[in-house]
Amino acid sequence: MRGLNFHNVIDEIIKDTLAYVPKDKDLVIGISGGLDSTIAAYIAVKGFGRDRVRGISLPCGIQSDMADVDLVFDALGIEKHEYNIEKVVEANLALDDNYRKGNLTKGNMMARTRMLQLYAQAGTYNGIVLGTTNRCEWEVGYFTKGGDGVEDVAMLMDLFKSEEYEIGRILGIPKRILEKKPTAGLWIGQTDEEELRITYDQIEACIRGLETNQAVLDRYNYLHAISQHKRDGAHIAHIVSIK
């Protein structure tokens, strides 16, 4: 934790986003029921108003956390636009039988299908796509290249996961969202930290140069190194600069 005034951080994010987004554009955001997209949606509504935030739900078939998605839409008071991507994903998986042999291939295909839908929405309804990637995810490459790594406004890019929890409490995000295990929701039972084999607190410690054990540092350095191609290939506007 960097000892930030999180009320000021929220205000700064809103100010910088307002300066970046054309006045005739709305914000298009995929809402998954997880912490990242929920915080981004809350800040967007606080800064732009409900009428300028187009929330999109993109389930793939029947997902167990849809009640959390509904909770976010209801709490924000914005209209829910839902498009089930299962048929599109299944059609692509059917192109090669080997696509079905691993969760990762399907998970990446889901993320890329969602990106296509978000940009179709933005193009149709005069909007720009609001991203939800945070600092920890960015540094270890925990995003899909050509999927959730594609965004117009990287609102959360300078925030650590621990800081998102603090902001979530200030914004009054539902307790159920704050307490659930972080997951990309790409397959049953998947959680971020189990997949990464390192916790978000440990990632933050490595980024900030805090004391940690060698095994954790080795894991972080490995994840950072193998994902460098994702950061090199992405041109994302860092709109928030927190000293």
Q: What is the pLDDT of residues 68-116, one digit of tens each?
A: 999 999 999 999 999 999 999 999 999 998 888 778 899 999 999 999 9
Q: What is the predicted pLDDT for the residue at 219?
A: 97
Say how far apart CA 97 and CA 93 lie, in whole Å.
7
Query: Once rounded to an integer, what is the mean pLDDT over residues 147-161?
Result: 93
Q: What is the predicted pLDDT for the residue at 232?
A: 87
Mean pLDDT, the chain, integer? 90
The alpha carbon dihedral of 177, 122, 79, 9 has a sign of positive
pLDDT tens digits, one per residue of 162-210 = 999 999 999 999 999 999 888 776 767 778 898 899 999 999 999 999 9
pLDDT tens digits, one per residue of 209-225 = 998 999 999 999 999 99
Say if residue 243 is exposed, middle or buried (CB neighbours under 10 Å; 0-12, 13-18, 19+).
exposed
Say how far apart CA 52 and CA 153 lie, in whole Å.
15
Say how far apart CA 132 and CA 44 lie, in whole Å.
11
Q: Is the pLDDT of residue 17 over 60?
A: yes
Q: What is the predicted pLDDT for the residue at 6?
A: 84
Q: Is the pLDDT of residue 1 over 80?
A: no
pLDDT tens digits, one per residue of 35-73 = 999 999 999 999 999 999 999 999 999 888 899 999 999
Q: What is the predicted pLDDT for the residue at 242?
A: 40
Q: Tokens 């997209």 identify what position?
A: 37
- First-to-last CA distance in the chain? 13
Homologous superfamily of domain range 6-232: HUPs (3.40.50.620)
Say how far apart CA 88 and CA 104 lie, in whole Å.
17
Q: What is the predicted pLDDT for the residue at 234?
A: 45
